[in-house]
Chains A and B, each alone.
Chain A
Amino acid sequence: MRKFSALYRNEITKVVHKPLYIVFAALTVVSMLFAGLVLKLDISAGYSDNGDPQMYDTEIENLENDLKIYVEDFKQNASGMEKTLVQEYLNGDGTVDGERYNNELGYNFSLVESIPDSLAWPLGRIEYLKVLKEYFPDSQEKNLFNLGIVGISTLDSSSKLHFFNDTATRLSAIMASERYEQIKADVFKDCPHALEYFDIYTIDLTTRGIAPETYPGEKEKLKEILREADFSVYIDVMNEQVKKDESLTEEQKRIKLESNDLLRKAYRNNMSQQSWDELNEKLNMLSNYKIQLNAGKADSGRKFTADEIRKLELQISEITLGISKRASGFGGNQTGEEASRVGMIASVGASIAQIALIMLGGMIIAEEIQTGSIKTLIIAPVKRRKIVGAKFAMLVTFALVEALIVFLTLMLVCAVFGFGFAKHVFVLGGSAHAMNTVLFSLLYILLSFSEAFFAGCFAFMLSALFRNAGAAIALSMVGTFVLGESVNAIRLMGEDSIIIKHLYEVLPPANFQLQEKVFATTLQSESTNFFAILNGNFGINGNSLTVSAIYVAVFIVLFVFTAFQSFNKRDIK
């Protein structure tokens, strides 16, 4: 042990005295500070995703202006087909034949098509109704309403796929803004019946994000996940927010808290079948009501009372918010964007650290053999396994030091640029957890170093095998940066192939990014993981955290074992 310790000290001396590694450490800090500055400037430039509904008013106005251009374009250039169909419909019996629109005629509304995805939902549909009203000023309210449904459906068919993508938080904020309410009220001023349906339909669409009928076969899985999830922590954060919200009346607060409690009951571990059934029943009622409305028989169907709609809207909007928060991963005062920011800055540091680890791993054995300084080690009365062991220990130490540098720099960046230290709420193992950002960042960075450390170990192995630092570094760079992306590309190309899927899952690139598997629902960019989890795909790369961790560990052990064997057994000529 004394000799190992002596060798280890020597390795530290070598690294500390080598300017290259000091430069890399400095580069890590500078890059992260620069990334922080860029993000800060970007935010200051105007666009904000901080979740404040008021911040979206300007954006909505911009969208309205854009839509006016689309509307003009529609008036000037819309094909005769669309006009004909609309006219046919207006002259008909008032029913909507969605099949005919979408399949038989293969027709899509050019206006709808031309609206960018980011505008399509939910603003787009309001604007569409607006256009219809302007275009067919004399149409019957009922027909106008039903026609609007077609447009909405068309819009939704394209936009629902994006429901949980990066725009979810923005859209939630838009929906919650006063401006949005004003627009909606204005559009439906002369059309209360449509407004009623619009709200319900919105609720339905929103709910369909998790609604079992939208995802056949997933109902049981969803129920299971919901049963397992403990949102108590999350609900507590939500309740605190509601209590502090001065814009709400006491009555509104009471309803929201009541609604939150409903959620808590529904989503806690012991959620009963009855609770699920009650929720499901309401969803079914909505669905039936929609069908009736769609068939022009709304008046003959049961109408929701205003109170029912309000409660449902509250309840389901909370679910929506909960889902988007789960997707973005943040409760409390922090938004998904802030999580992305922390992750982005950390990833900049981790990438630099990865290069540094590859350099160290690639040189630590080969360079000594190339320069001949290995002789002073071989001639010393120490077994070779201790020499290579000390070198590996140095690699581990260097990785930890780099992780510490990244962590401290991240904290510095957050403090200097005011990115905040609010609590993170994330779902792990079916339960919600609240974690201090400092702790979260540390854990996140340590996990994100799995790839950097993997790359370092790969270079370490090549260093021992090739005894050429340049070759070891170059191959490791190619192996970890280029091949990783290539493997991802192959996976995407062969998405439908079971063989490729399974082959991909055992390859290293599929199992990196452990932090993203642990905090799968934490980062906004990982929001698609929510669906991945629903579909039984744990983690973006297909393997669960445990499996990925084992794969990564196995590969690292294999690399290190190979390096040990190669160094131990081969002659030093």
Chain B
Amino acid sequence: MENVLTVSNLNKYFGRRKILDNINLEVKAGEVMGFIGPNGAGKTTAIKVILGFLSDDGGSVNICGYDLKKDYENALGCAGGIVENPDMYKQFSGMLNLEMYARTHEGVTKERINEVVKLVGLENRINDKVKKYSLGMKQRLGVAMALLHNPKLLILDEPMNGLDPAGIKELRDIVTTLAHENGVGVLISSHQLAEMQNMCDRAAIIVSGRIICEDTLEALNRRVAGGNGYVFETGNPMKTIAVIKKYLAENQPVKTAEAAQNDNGNGAATAGPSAQCNPDDGSVLAQIETKDVPAIVRALVTEGVDVFAVRKTENSLEDAFIAITGGGNTVA
């Protein structure tokens, strides 16, 4: 798929302080790219540079094949977005805000405006003044504004702030539909990692102005020590561990959590098959592939271990984020 956003070697200084350090980022058409990082990492700054709020101090931004510096209007014509809070003309109605914004784009019809209003569920309040809107309604209006001109690249900076659970779900549906059905490339930053996990295809993690990791969510999860696995509830946890380790030893090498962590120089743990007991409930967590489950169950039964349940367990993006940014505990 073609890139709708290509950021190359982007740098930005505020005074002497380097805010963005050689950022490279790609968003492809039809994918949702999560942009995550701790507070002050440079997410919003990067987005502001991409959308023309801030000038860069080196590097380039290319949107849909248009260089932002050389072909500013065409580049931004392909993009829509929300940056930080959805600030609009509060004294005007939502509809007037949309109409004014629509004027700056070619081909945005009244029908299109009504369409996006319906899409974000603001039909009943669109003629109210924005100052009467809740934060969630403003977010919806901001999304509507960003979608007005059918952008190929949608950039949403913390779009879920202020949204209620239903609103978040609606936004998720909108974003995924836009990406997966309409082929829009979406760059979305948020602190709500659980939601990001449900929404994103890929994610880039930025720390101290540097992107330290950019990959699919699956691959990111794999980097977490322990990775995805299965929980075995059996009558003999210790024997269960022994059986699993024996099976793994016969079929593939086993790494301890410590060893796995040591494999990754920047602290991001890499997952590998292992097994350990949860002292709270006596269950056994094994980082194994799905294909190994039947053989292990058979082995346990053969060894006389009662198997009560086998549950699949997955690491979250949050786990990956904490692990990769060095703030989380790995599973061993």
Contact = CB atoms under 8 A, between A and B. Distances in A.
B331 to A, nearest CB: 40
* A-B residue pairs, 4 tightest by C-beta: A372-B87, A6-B103, A381-B77, A380-B104
Contacts of A3: 73, 104
Interface string A362-379: 000000000111011111
Contacts of A244: none
Given A572-B53, A573-B54, A383 B89 contact: no
B53 A573 contact: yes
Given A10-B100, A375-B83, 17 more contacts: A3-B73, A9-B103, A13-B92, A13-B96, A17-B91, A373-B88, A376-B87, A378-B51, A379-B52, A379-B79, A380-B101, A381-B77, A383-B73, A571-B48, A571-B55, A572-B54, A573-B48
A379 B87 contact: no
A378 B77 CA distance: 12
A382 interface: yes
B177 interface: no
22 contacts: A6-B104, A7-B103, A17-B91, A17-B96, A18-B91, A373-B90, A375-B84, A375-B87, A378-B52, A378-B53, A379-B52, A379-B53, A379-B80, A379-B146, A380-B76, A380-B101, A380-B104, A381-B76, A571-B54, A572-B53, A572-B54, A573-B54
Interface residues of B, number: 34
B94 to A, nearest CB: 12
B60 interface: no
A206 B303 CA distance: 135
Interface string A340-380: 00000000000000000000000000000001110111111
Contacts of B48: 571-573
A379 B105 CA distance: 11
Contacts of B87: 371-373, 375-376
B133 to A, nearest CB: 14
A19 B83 CA distance: 29
B281 interface: no
A10 B88 contact: no
Contacts of A569: 55
B106 interface: yes
A17 B73 CA distance: 28
Interface string A536-573: 00000000000000000000000000000000010111
Given A6-B103, A9-B103, A375-B83, A14 B53 contact: no
A2 interface: yes
A3 B77 CA distance: 12
Given A3-B73, A381-B105, A376 B97 contact: yes
A399 to B, nearest CB: 23
Contacts of A9: 103
Contact of B88 (A13, A376, A380, A381): A376
B226 interface: no
Contact of A13 (B100, B106, B146): B100
Interface of B: 48, 51-55, 72-77, 79-81, 83-85, 87-92, 96-97, 100-101, 103-106, 145-146
Contacts of A571: 48, 53-55
Interface string A1-39: 011001101100110011000000000000000000000
A373 B87 CA distance: 5
Contacts of A377: 104
Contacts of B97: 376
Interface string A294-337: 00000000000000000000000000000000000000000000
B104 A381 contact: yes
Contact of A375 (B53, B79, B106): B53
Nearest to A377: B104
B72 A383 contact: yes
Contacts of A381: 72-77, 79, 104-105
Contact of A382 (B85, B100, B104): B104
Contact of B83 (A7, A17, A379): A379
A162 B65 CA distance: 77
Nearest to A383: B72
A378 B10 CA distance: 20
B11 to A, nearest CB: 14
B145 A376 contact: yes
Contacts of B72: 381, 383
A371 B130 CA distance: 13
Nearest to B76: A381
A93 B50 CA distance: 103
A17 B90 CA distance: 11
A14 B90 CA distance: 11
A378 B145 CA distance: 13
A377 B87 CA distance: 11
B53 A373 contact: no
A534 B321 CA distance: 85
A383 B69 CA distance: 11
Among the interface residues B75, B77, B80, B104, which one has the most CB atoms of the partner chain A within 10 A? Answer: B104
Given A378-B53, A571-B55, A2 B106 contact: yes
A367 to B, nearest CB: 10
Nearest to B66: A381
A514 B97 CA distance: 41
Given A372-B85, A376-B145, A379-B80, A10 B103 contact: yes
B88 A7 contact: no
A10 B85 CA distance: 21
Given A6-B103, A10-B100, A13-B100, A379 B51 contact: yes
Contacts of B89: 14, 373, 376
